[in-house]
Amino acid sequence: MAEEKKQPRIGVFVCHCGTNIAGSIDVKAVQEYARTLPGVIVADDYQYMCSTPGQTKIDNAIKENDLTGVVVAACSPRLHEPTFRTATKEGGLNPFRFEMANIREQDAWVHMHDNAGATAKAKDAIRIAVAKAALLEDLYPKSVPVEHAAMVVGAGVGGIQAALDLANAGIKTYLIDKLPTVGGRMSQLDKTFPTLDCSQCILTPKMVDVGRHPNIDLRTYTEVEAVEGYIGNFDITLRKKARGVLTPTEATEKGIVGGGCNGCGDCDAVCPVIKPNPFELGMKPRKAIYIYHPQVTPLIYTVDFDSCIKCGLCVEACGEKKAIDLDMADAFETVKVGTVILATGYDIFPIEKKREWGYKQFDNVITSLEFERLICASGPTGGHLIRPSDGQTPKKVAFVLCAGSRDNTGVGKPYCSRFCCMYSLKHAHQMMEKIPGCQPYIFYMDIRSFGKQYEEFYYRIQDEGAKFIRGRVANILEDAKTKDLHVYAEDTLLGQPVDLTVDLVVLAAAIEPTQGIDPVRKMFGVSCSQDGWMLEAHPKLNPCGTTTAGVFLAGVCQGPKDIPDTVAQAEGAASAASIPIHMGKVELEPYFAQCIEEKCAGCGMCVNLCPYSALALVEKDGKQVMQVTEAKCKGCGTCGGFCPGGAIYMQHFTTPQIVAQIDAFLLGGEE
């Protein structure tokens, strides 16, 4: 027998949030108004509803008044919906009999100079929430098992650390990188601030570890092709790009005994095609068959099929190892994982767009990443810093900070790229260390040396003799004869114009999200913030999570950060991603679409509309009806809004609930 439906008995709790809400909204008036609303049995207010006493108020009120629903008027549900669901449950109600009215972010904070208006809006928000709360039903999360495996996309230092942590926690981990090696940008660096450790010395052992770890399935030269599923059960299709070279394992699988690439380099020596080397930023050549850099992991050559002329000389040179297959095609494989970490890093902003600084117009204007390669012993010049125009050693070098960052002109990036102050100080030090008598000039707006031992590093570089000029560089011009550069700026501390002649200019170019990352991000249902960086679930309370359950972020893909912060976030992401896997099951919020089969005409239109492939037509009692795979449904409502027959019922967002909210808004005002 169906349970008799109780008359709604609702409790409303209005939060002051200190003065965050109470500073703009008359909380007492709002609370008294709430008491007059239909179905409201109790209305209360408290300084901090999310505190223990605040939650206890809810718990007690439910028990003392036999409530059927709870409304909390406070901050955004993104912050505390789970908190108040728990409090509702503690009181003995189903946790989904809870509704939140956002009177802080959407009211008090945006109407802080209009107290009467903000108070009236709070009353509207509460009236609407109460109308819905009166119609809330018990809902039950769906429990799904979690695959005991994880994937990390992007194998820079962030992805490497996350993969090692997951693997060390006993979780099978797929580590994916689109390049033929792991390592990311850190492989391109010479030394790292503030300790000046050699970048490769710190990174290479970790690169080797991921290559050898029994729990890590390393897939380089591989990209994500498609993503299906949900937390606990992601089916991810990988595109293994045609590398043209077999690993020893692949060779064995093909029956080539003792074959496969051993990294001998004989093919490289004979290949006639020469192209610019992207790892060396075009400052060194490479062949059409190559290794990405000398420390690659895994040590396997790769054919660049865009430039290979298929002459076959490499095949001949490889001989009995039979490692080269010039007809190799991309291969696809779908793997199942429980959770995913995105660690896809960044690219350098194309600073030539800021034409006033002459990059790509004047030979002796270079970027900081080019500086890293030039000063690095394994770089294109063997560690000799040179002027590109004539190969001479520069004696006067200008470092231009905030090049394209903190730029509101519409051409550059409005944000601070966060590590360029520090690496420019490092570059000044490296120069002074390597070139006796040289003089670095640092043009800066502010020096942001915020990390541990960073300010001390700044003082050290000052003491070593670097000259600091506070002012944004207006433009740079070249002396056509000498190829020297004139740097024009205003020294804002002295209030004087500056015209400085230097041998070399190094632009600390802004960074931006990795090129082509948007389709990947979207496949995982991850949003981005206005500036393009991937969006965390909450900047303070959930900085590694995303709004897609089971997908986490590590490193610069979430926003500019240096190596220590990247590694710290990667460890956080690995920990978060391992929790559902160790729990073995997760609960999905029950905001699923449901089919009212009597109303369904079996037209199938909703099936094609669902962005998550959660719907299918099935045969039932001789007719076609729509069926929902609840675990795949994200409750987006697309199908519910579309169905011509009104056959789709959205749990927690039912048509009667929404109509009641609209009525409450339109009809129920106080005045």
Give the count of residues interacting with ligand SF4 (CB under 6 A).
79
DSSP letter at 130 equals: H
Task: Output DSSP code: residue 3.
Answer: P
| Residue owning tokens 């729509």 | 626
Mention every residue, 6+ apart, whose C-beta is less than 8 A from residue 61. Answer: 11, 13, 42, 44, 67, 70, 91
* Cβ distance to ligand FAD smaller for residue 27 or 238: 238
245 contacts: CB under 8 Å, gap ≥ 6: 261, 289, 300, 301, 302, 303, 323, 324, 325
Site for ligand SF4 in 534-593 (CB under 6 A): 593
Residue 507 or 647: which CB sits closer to ligand FAD? 507
Q: Which stretches does DSSP call E strand in 510-610?
A: 511-513, 551-553, 585-588, 593-595
Binding track over 254-273 against ligand SF4, x by CB under 6 A: -------xxxxxxx--xx-x
Token pair in block for residue 29:
């008036």
- Name residue 73's beta-bridge partners: 14, 101
- Nearest to ligand FAD of 233, 566 (CB atom): 566
Residue 318 sits in the site that holds ligand SF4 (CB under 6 A): yes
The CB-of-434 to ligand SF4 minimum distance in angstroms stands at: 22
What is the β-pairing status of strands 396-403 and 439-444?
Answer: parallel
Which one of ligand FAD, ligand SF4, none interacts with residue 223, CB within 5 to 8 A by kind? ligand FAD
Residue type, 128: I
Q: Taking the complex as a whole, how short is the minimal distance between the CB of residue 83 and ligand SF4, in angstroms?
A: 7
328 contacts ligand SF4 (rule: CB under 6 A): no
| Token pair of 155 as six digits | 């194998």
Q: Candidates 202-210, 373-381, 391-399, 636-644 — which segment interacts with ligand SF4 by CB under 6 A?
A: 636-644
> How many residues are there in the chain?
671
Contact between 633 and ligand SF4 by CB under 6 A: the answer reads: yes
Site residues (CB under 6 A) for ligand FAD? 153-159, 176-179, 184-186, 189, 192-193, 223, 343-346, 368-369, 372, 419, 423, 426, 514, 517, 520, 555-556, 561-564, 566
Q: Select 87 or 160, whichever has its Cβ closest to ligand SF4.
A: 87
To ligand SF4, the closest distance from the beta carbon of 376 in angstroms equals 21
Neighbouring C-alpha atoms within 13 Å toward the C-beta of 441 = 24
Site for ligand SF4 in 172-231 (CB under 6 A): none
Contacts of 634 (CB under 8 A, 6+ apart): 230, 525, 591, 611, 612, 614
Tell me: does residue 637 bind ligand SF4 (CB under 6 A): yes
Residue 507 near ligand SF4 by CB under 6 A: no
Nearest Cα residue to 200 out of 376, 337, 66: 376
Q: Compute the 3-state secondary structure of the chain and give helix, strand, coil in percent, each to the nearest 5.
A: 30, 25, 45
132 contact choice in ligand FAD, ligand SF4, none (CB below 5 to 8 Å, kind-dependent) = none
The answer to whether residue 17 forms part of the interface with ligand SF4 (CB under 6 A) is yes
Pick the binder of ligand SF4 from 310, 353, 360, 434 (CB under 6 A).
310
Between 506 and 557, name the residue whose CB sits nearer to ligand SF4. Answer: 506
The answer to whether residue 49 forms part of the interface with ligand SF4 (CB under 6 A) is yes
Q: CA-CA distance, 158 to 372, in Å (whole number)? A: 20
- Rounded Cα distance, 398 and 48, in Å: 53
- With CB under 5 to 8 Å by kind, the binding choice for 535 among ligand FAD, ligand SF4, none is none
- Residue 658 as a binder of ligand SF4 (CB under 6 A): the answer is no
- Selected binder of ligand SF4 within 417, 430, 439, 651 (CB under 6 A): 417
Of ligand FAD, ligand SF4, none, which one sits near residue 29, judging by CB under 5 to 8 A according to partner kind? none
Q: Which of 165, 223, 196, 189 is nearest to 554 (CA)?
A: 165
The nearer residue to ligand SF4, 118 or 639, going by C-beta atoms, is 639
For CA atoms 443, 477, 510, 567, the dihedral sign is negative
Binder of ligand SF4 out of 93, 146, 163, 289 (CB under 6 A): 289
Residue 643 within binding range of ligand SF4, rule CB under 6 A: yes
Structure tokens at 124: 């509207």
Nearest CB to ligand SF4, comparing residues 380 and 412 = 412
Q: Is 301 in the site for ligand SF4 (CB under 6 A)?
A: yes
Q: Which amino acid is at 447?
A: I
User: Shortest distance, CB of residue 2 to ligand SF4, whole angstroms?
Assistant: 24
Query: Per-residue contact track with ligand SF4, 145 to 174, x per CB under 6 A?
Result: ------------------------------
Closest approach of ligand SF4 to the CB of residue 437, in Å: 26
620: Cβ–Cβ under 8 A, 6 or more apart, which residues?
A: 597
Residue 264 binds what, of ligand SF4, ligand FAD, none (CB under 5 to 8 Å, by partner type)? ligand SF4
Sign of the torsion formed by the C-alpha atoms of 429, 433, 437 and 438: negative
CA dihedral in degrees (363, 364, 365, 367; nearest 10)? 100
Cα 398 off chain centre by? 33
Q: For ligand SF4, which residue of 23, 32, 39, 48 counts as binding (CB under 6 A)? A: 48
Which position among 93, 207, 238, 615 is part of the footprint of ligand SF4 (CB under 6 A)? 615
For residue 174, the SS3 value is strand
Backbone angles phi and psi of 342, in degrees to 5: -95, 130
Of residues 85, 293, 418, 426, which one binds ligand SF4 by CB under 6 A? 418
Are 336 and 228 spatial neighbours (Cβ–Cβ below 8 Å)?
Answer: no
Binding residues for ligand SF4 restricted to 62-91, rule: CB under 6 A? 74-75, 79-80
Of the candidates 152, 149, 83, which has an alpha carbon nearest to the alpha carbon of residue 569?
152
Least Å distance, CB 278 to ligand FAD, is 11
Shortest CB 264 distance to ligand FAD, Å: 25
Q: Interface with ligand SF4 includes 647 (CB under 6 A)?
A: yes
Binding ligand SF4 (rule: CB under 6 A), the pick from 277, 634, 657, 664 is: 634
From ligand FAD, ligand SF4, none, which one binds at residue 417 (CB under 5 to 8 Å depending on kind)?
ligand SF4
648 is a site residue for ligand SF4 (CB under 6 A)? yes
DSSP string of 409-424, one letter each residue: SSSS-SS--SSHHHHH
Q: Give CA–CA dist 321/319, Å, rounded.
A: 6
Bridge partner list, 586: 144
Amino acid at 408: N
What does the per-residue mask of binding to ligand SF4 show for 434-473, with x meaning CB under 6 A? Answer: ------------x-x-------------------------
Which of ligand SF4, ligand FAD, none interacts with 153 (beta carbon under 5 to 8 A by kind)? Answer: ligand FAD
Structure tokens at 590: 């029950």
- From the list 340-348, 388-396, 541-549, 611-619, the region that binds ligand SF4 by CB under 6 A is 611-619
Question: Which residue, 104 or 286, is less far from ligand FAD as judged by CB?
Answer: 286
Tell me which of 645, 655, 659, 669 binds ligand SF4, using CB under 6 A.
645
Under 8 Å between Cβ of 592 and 237? no
Closer residue to ligand SF4 (CB): 392 or 529: 529
Contact call for residues 90 and 55 (beta carbons, < 8 A): yes
Output phi, psi for 550, to 5 deg.
90, -5
Other beta carbons within 10 Å of 170 = 11
